[in-house]
Amino acid sequence: MTTVVSFIIVLGILIFIHELGHFLVAKYSGVGVERFSLGFGPRLFGIKVGETDYCISLIPFGGYVKMVGEAPDEEVSSQLKPKSFTHKPLRVRTSIVASGPLMNIALALILFPVLFMMGIKVPSYVDGPPVVGYVEEGEPAERAGLRPGDLIVAVDHKPISTWEELTKSIALSPEKSVTLLVRRNGREFTASITPTTSREGIGVAGLYPPMRPVIGGVTPGFPAERAGLRPGDLIVAIDGKPVFHWVELQKTIKKSPEERTLLIERDGRRFSVKLKPRYNEELQIYLIGVTRLEEFVTKSYGFFESIRMGLVKAWELTVLLFVIIKGLVTGVYSIKTLGGPIMIAQVAGRAAESGLADLISIIAFLSLQLGIINLLPIPVLDGGYLLFFAIEWIRGRPLSEHFLSIANQIGMALLLALMVFVTWNDLVRIFTN
């Protein structure tokens, strides 16, 4: 029940904000609005105020604002022409169409800072001393000579005392040389490191905080569960080689389907288990089905810091979205990774059970994605109409009604096909799990 209610709330907020953008700019521009509907299809109930019918419709996956003279071929009396969308200047029509997705983006840009002010769950090591737990082979940190156990005491001559400070310094310096003051065995020395750029556009150096290879969760149906592993188990060694860090475990498991022998410590005693990793087509790696035990703390930030961090988070998610789109087009990512309304409902349900902050986080994330995707130049989406308006501006006259009709039909067919596909993906995940 929580899942259904949460899904309705999240989807309702996203649709309402989107359509409210269209509605407010249309009314401000003097365009008549005949209907403001949450949902498609038959009208269930509502209220009419003035010329506008505010209603809830049967099919909840969307909404619309019906404006006077919205369709190019719609007959509009001379009396209503001043209120007709089609008869408004191009800049007015453009602003009305763009306002929907921009409202979704604006909502995200408001909610992300609110989350940081409310307090977000962060790993407990964030406030701990910046002691290096693991150095990834071939990455900038290894090339700079850093080792596990090193304590980073300053970045670019500025003293630091937490992993959060170190992470920020590296993240904000992609492709830039950074000077670290390192303490090792009581001796201090400097190391120059040049972080590379991650797919999210931030700097990474192959440095990890201490992460003991302790199991936090076991996925049903995976090799780890069948081998009898449990949350709290410490993985001491793989194939006789000691393991000191969770990343070592990940790197060893994900690269090969070979059967592995794991030395496990549980309640003070040690024993061995054998298991064979399972290949995951979506991630294109081998998995045994375990997650790391991690302690979290809730951390709040000040007003201005929250705004800065909220904007950074929005930018990272925007970059990541386009990286994923590019990966789907080029085949780097499998289209089986796409989720639909069922997945959204499940995520919303889990977020609601976790608390208000997690629910707001999901709304902010989905609102940002919805706003950006709606701006893509695809027929039927707002971005498609903006593309047609751009062509109209260049040509000096609108595109033909026949062309617009065909383009929108193709766009609608593609959109419906995508909806069917992602829903099928959701069902496959449910029954596979």
Facing residues of 46 across strands?
55
Read off the tokens for 128: 């701990």
Q: What's the gap between Cα 256 and its chain centre?
A: 29
| φ and ψ of 105, to 5 deg | -65, -40
Euclidean distance between CA atoms 422 and 341, whole angstroms? 8
In terms of C-beta density within 10 A (0-12 exposed, 13-18 middle, 19 or more buried), how is residue 33 classed?
Answer: buried
| φ and ψ of 264, to 5 deg | -115, 140
- CA-nearest of 71, 74, 93, 31 to 386 is 93
CB 421 within 8 A of CB 343: no
CB 25 within 8 A of CB 55: no
Active site residues: 19
Euclidean distance between CA atoms 353 and 399, whole angstroms? 49
CB 224 within 8 A of CB 246: no
DSSP-derived secondary structure for 373-393 = HHTSS-TTSHHHHHHHHHHHH
Euclidean distance between CA atoms 415 and 408, whole angstroms? 10
| φ and ψ of 432, to 5 deg | -70, -45
Using the structure block, give the residue that is written with the tokens 């930018």.
315
Euclidean distance between CA atoms 106 and 247, whole angstroms? 37
Q: What SS3 class is residue 373?
A: helix
Strand (E) or helix (H) holding 313: helix 303-330
Facing residues of 314 across strands?
none
CB 59 within 8 A of CB 39: yes
Euclidean distance between CA atoms 207 and 201, whole angstroms? 17
Q: What's the gap between Cα 308 and its chain centre?
A: 18
